[in-house]
Structure 1
Amino acid sequence: MTGASGDPVLIIGTERSGSNLLRLILDAHSRIAVPHPPHFMRFLSPVVADYGDLAVEPNRRRLVRDTLALLDRHIHPWPHPIDADRVVATARPTLFGVVDAVYDQYREAEGKARWGCKSTFMVDHVDEVLADRPGARFIWLVREPYDVTASAKRSVFGYCHPYRMAQLWRTQQERAQAALDRWGPGVVHLLRYEDLVLEPEQQLKELCAFLGEDFEPGMLRHHDSAAARRTASLSESWSRAGQPIGRDRIGSHRTGLTDNERLLVDRATGPMKERLGYPVDRLAGQIDEPSPLSVAARSALTRCEVEYRSLRKDDNHRLRIARDLHVRGLHLRFLARRALGIPRTTRTD
């Protein structure tokens, strides 16, 4: 069964849930190209109003310029150049239209039929994507929040504090559940990380059937690819990308979280966690919510430790800092223009 569709495949959910693993597995398919995501929608959607009517070519060109500037600072550089003029000419007049045009050039350069995106933050943009690409398919990847928060404690990606990460997990699962409820299992496919690593071939066959693609055994050898080795070399947070599918990360929270942190996670995730088939400790309802001040202080301390380790061990830490400064600049420009009441139509930059 080879799918005729060239529609995109998008992984949604929460970071630290195995999305890099799933990205590389999908990328190993002969018809699907899944680069590491620059998170275009996440970073640009808060400021897209600043570009005005994207049906107007100069406005669209400004957006494409800033989109590709973000790509230039991407923490996982793409191997193929993107033609800005071609993006301007082919993009539909929406932010996702521009993103689609950029990814489509990558797909073409890879010689594949459809592209994929593993920016789990796309969970906030399901309706926008489907308005532009009704045939898009979403893989809702979910993982036990204990293990998600344990992983985030040591990662530069996401909140380092388990309680804050658990709150994000709950919010994003609720949004994914809402998308599944609205669009149905023909559009949104729920995949548990634990099921994927315990029975990978069966789960991937079901996933391929959902996507309208043939299952390919090479998907189970994703770790042999140059893309996997490259990912593993760039950041300590991605070090497992070059390894085969393994079940050893199930239960990693046993050494990564304290008993109190597990209770805090359960307090934050509660009914959503149970709905997804993960047990909740009943003692969680008896503990107090941590004070914002204590959470902020602990978050700052842990973040400093994580950043220091990244500075020493990650090859892409300079790109990450450059990207973050670029994004902050875009957001500050937007806020300044709004505060000064500068109309979008007067832009000349």
Structure 2
Amino acid sequence: MSAQDGPILIIGTERSGSNLLRLVLDAHSRIAVPHPPHFMRYLSGIPYNGDVDAMVGDAMWLLRNHIHPWPHAIDRAAVAEAAGPSLFGVVSAIYDQYRVAEGAARWGCKSTFMVEHVDEVLAELPDARFLWLVRDPRDVAASAKRAVFGHCHPYRMALRWAAEQGLARAALERWGPEVVRLVRYEDLVSAPDREIRAICDFIGEAVEPAMLAHHLSGNARVTASLSASWRTAGDPITTARIGAHRRGLSDRERRQVESVAAGAMEALRYPFDRSSLDEPAPGPLGVVLRGFAVRLAVEARSLRTDRNHFRRWRRDATVRRLRRRAAPGRALFLAGESR
């Protein structure tokens, strides 16, 4: 694989416009970016101890229960034959098989949780490139509050946002701007021609007109139809959701977000009210109870509106089953590590 054919990974925090950027990239004739089953997020904590067959089996099980089914069947035997010895080696083999089925030259992954695995990716695929997608944490928290993905409580979402921006910045500092590029959501939707051109320059591809009309693709329509949390995937690029927190967060929630995200907000050019630095952290019990209440409302709406609601429940049950099955092995693994 040449440097120009290396994979493209979107990293950062969910609810930051990653579906938009995924579909923009997927609209390019040389790039295939399926909706991610989040293999590394759900499987990386399982101590496989180099058992490639077990890794492949669990990854294929997760793929079968994916909340956004892939249009192509993935051959388990071919994945096992092509996979490297690591979990990401298995993930790469799965994505590469999808790329071939799509007739593309390179694949992409929009699982923003890959921000925790940048070094692992580069150890397996040194030609990988990363798009660090960042969005105003107040808007991220407002979006997550209504979505079936992410923490419903804005304070918890802000903690995740701050931690993940720290990981992304560390990756940029470690690997440099030739490998990691910062993309601000607000810039992408305000000046899409300029930003998409800059992204294409970074990944070594020519701009294609279809990238600016991503919402017309079949993939965009399918994504938008599956969940209310993804309904904007079928919309043209718009600035309408900049500042969504003004409607989606209370003043207290905004201050709570700013209180924990202020350092990263300042570094990433997001103005905030400095008086929020004095906002006390909410009590743990209050966070749990409020988050649970909001989650119930979100799940009730999802039952009415989402085509993939029960697939998501089945996926979550699959993940719990895999982790329970691995629990004894994990305990033994950790005991061995402590000796």
TM-score, normalising length from structure 1?
0.94
Question: SS where residue 182 of structure 2 aligns?
Answer: strand
248, 256, 279: which is aligned to 2:271?
Answer: 279
Counterpart of 1:214 in structure 2 is 206
Q: Is the 8 A contact 2:3 2:127 kept in 1?
A: no
Matched, 1:133 2:125: yes
- How far residue 37 of structure 1 moved from its aligned partner, in angstroms, is 0.2
Where do residues 91-130 of structure 1 align in structure 2 (5 Å cutoff)? 91-130=83-122
- How far residue 4 of structure 1 moved from its aligned partner, in angstroms, is 6.1
Q: Bigger shift: 255-264 or 331-340? A: 331-340
- How far residue 285 of structure 1 moved from its aligned partner, in angstroms, is 1.7
Gaps of 5+ in 1: 54-58, 345-349
Letter in 1 for 2:69: P
Counterpart of 1:253 in structure 2 is 245
**What CA distance in whole angstroms lies between the structure 2 residues aligned with 1:22 and 1:168?**
20
123, 131, 153: which is aligned to 2:145?
Answer: 153
**What CA distance in whole angstroms lies between the structure 1 residues aligned with 2:107 and 2:231?**
24
Counterpart of 2:20 in structure 1 is 21
Counterpart of 1:8 in structure 2 is 7
Counterpart of 1:175 in structure 2 is 167
- How far residue 337 of structure 1 moved from its aligned partner, in angstroms, is 3.3
Change beyond 3 A, Cα 1:134–1:339? closer
- How far residue 312 of structure 1 moved from its aligned partner, in angstroms, is 1.2
Letter in 1 for 2:116: D
Counterpart of 2:79 in structure 1 is 87
51, 63, 87: which is aligned to 1:71?
Answer: 63
Letter in 1 for 2:262: G
176, 187, 191: which is aligned to 1:184?
Answer: 176
Moved over 6 A (4+): 340-344
Letter in 2 for 1:45: S
Letter in 2 for 1:52: N
- How far residue 340 of structure 1 moved from its aligned partner, in angstroms, is 6.9
Counterpart of 1:43 in structure 2 is 42
Matched, 1:34 2:33: yes
Letter in 1 for 2:15: R
Q: CA RMSD in A?
A: 1.5
Q: Bigger shift: 117-126 or 280-289? A: 280-289
- How far residue 342 of structure 1 moved from its aligned partner, in angstroms, is 12
**What CA distance in whole angstroms lies between the structure 2 residues aligned with 1:340 and 1:169?**
32
Letter in 1 for 2:158: A
Matched, 1:321 2:316: no
229, 239, 243: which is aligned to 1:237?
Answer: 229
Counterpart of 1:52 in structure 2 is 49
- How far residue 52 of structure 1 moved from its aligned partner, in angstroms, is 2.3
1:141-180 deviations in Å (ceiling 9; x for gaps): 0001111000000000000000000000000000000000
Letter in 1 for 2:199: L
Question: SS where residue 140 of structure 1 aligns?
Answer: strand
- How far residue 335 of structure 1 moved from its aligned partner, in angstroms, is 1.4
| Number of aligned residues | 335
Matched, 1:337 2:332: no
Letter in 2 for 1:15: E
Q: Percent identity?
A: 59
Letter in 1 for 2:49: G
TM-score, normalising length from structure 2?
0.96
